[in-house]
Amino acid sequence: MPNKKTLFDSLKNQIRNCKDCSLWELRTNIVFGEGNPNSPLLIIGEAPGATEDQTGRPFVGKAGKFLDQCLKEASLDREQVFIANVMKCRPCIIEGKTNKNRPPTKEETKICSKWLKRQIEIINPKIILSLGAPATKFILNKNTIKMNEIRGTFIQSEDIFVMPSLHPSYILTYKGEAEKQMLISDIKACHNKVQELGLCFKKSEIYTEKPFDLFNI
Ligand code: SF4
């Protein structure tokens, strides 16, 4: 059985060559995801933005720094979890001389989600923290959800505990301290669940694009 690094390297190569939807035309880099592939906790967002497209890394812009801060407040850091998006290329439109973020279409999401499904098979997480409604809908396989009703509560989906939470960009753009505390509380709940399940976080194995590509077994 190949190890996770080998499986991830092969998957990443397939995604790098992917032209299955039109988003490849405007991408600078695919955004595969990063962190510890053996982590019991997988964090999922919807799609890369401009900084992620430039760096090939998930959650590295303003929202990423905010997420790092929230992880820290829950006594975690990104090397202990795995962070990925449903979409592997940035959905954007050309406006004048710049590319502007846009939500992915249903069709684009459907086409691209095969890559995240494969990542989930490889990582085999016990807990998924889904950030925002689109990622939560995808992971729960539902067309409609009410985030204000399900946020902050574990929902068991097969053998995975899903914690729906708020997306850092949404909190930064529309909300404030109260919502930040909700996200921190949801991350803490995931941390506690890891302990409750008798699992732990290890920092020794890291899979990332830049500035280093380490995977120390
Ligand atoms: S968004 Fe996904 S399906 Fe579309 S080109 Fe990129 S990797 Fe392929």
In this prediction, residue 211 carries a pLDDT of: 54
In this prediction, residue 206 carries a pLDDT of: 78
Establish whether residue 87 lines the binding site of ligand 1, counting it when its CB lies within 6 angstroms of any ligand atom. yes
Task: Please give the CATH topology (third level) of the domain spanning 4-195.
Answer: Uracil-DNA Glycosylase, subunit E (3.40.470)
Helix (H) or strand (E) holding 118: helix 106-123
Q: How far apart are CA 11 and CA 115, in angstroms?
A: 8
Residue to mutate (ligand 1; options 19, 20, 22, 53; most atoms within 8 A of CB): 20
CA geometry: angle at 136 spanning 139 and 49, to 5°? 105
Q: How far apart are CA 135 and CA 129, in angstroms?
A: 9
Mean pLDDT by 10 residues, the chain (217 residues): 88 97 97 95 97 95 95 95 98 92 96 98 97 96 95 94 97 92 98 95 74 42
In this prediction, residue 37 carries a pLDDT of: 93
Q: How far apart are CA 197 and CA 207, in angstroms?
A: 24
Tokens of 21: 């939807």
Nearest Cα residue to 40 out of 204, 147, 193: 193
Going from the Cα of 121 to the center of ligand 1, the distance in angstroms, rounded, reads 19
Residue to mutate (ligand 1; options 12, 16, 22, 30; most atoms within 8 A of CB): 30
Establish whether residue 172 lines the binding site of ligand 1, counting it when its CB lies within 6 angstroms of any ligand atom. no
Q: How far apart are CA 132 and CA 124, in angstroms?
A: 21
Establish whether residue 86 lines the binding site of ligand 1, counting it when its CB lies within 6 angstroms of any ligand atom. no
Q: Which amino acid is located at 95 in the chain?
A: E
In this prediction, residue 214 carries a pLDDT of: 43
Nearest Cα residue to 183 out of 106, 50, 70: 70
Helix axis angle, 62-73 to 177-196, nearest 10°: 50
For residues 82 and 38, the answer to whether their CB atoms sit within 8 Å is no
CA max distance for the chain: 53
Nearest Cα residue to 4 out of 88, 109, 125: 125
- Three-state DSSP class for residue 195: helix
- Three-state DSSP class for residue 163: strand
Taking the domains of the chain in order of start, what are their residue ranges?
A: 4-195
Establish whether residue 31 lines the binding site of ligand 1, counting it when its CB lies within 6 angstroms of any ligand atom. no
Enumerate helices (H) and strands (E) in the chain, giving the number of each. 8, 8
In this prediction, residue 124 carries a pLDDT of: 96
In this prediction, residue 182 carries a pLDDT of: 97
Establish whether residue 90 lines the binding site of ligand 1, counting it when its CB lies within 6 angstroms of any ligand atom. no
Q: Which amino acid is located at 110 in the chain?
A: K
Tokens of 11: 């998957």
In this prediction, residue 212 carries a pLDDT of: 44
**pTM for this predicted structure:** 0.93
Going by the DSSP 8-state scheme, the letter that residue 125 receives in this structure is: -
In this prediction, residue 210 carries a pLDDT of: 61
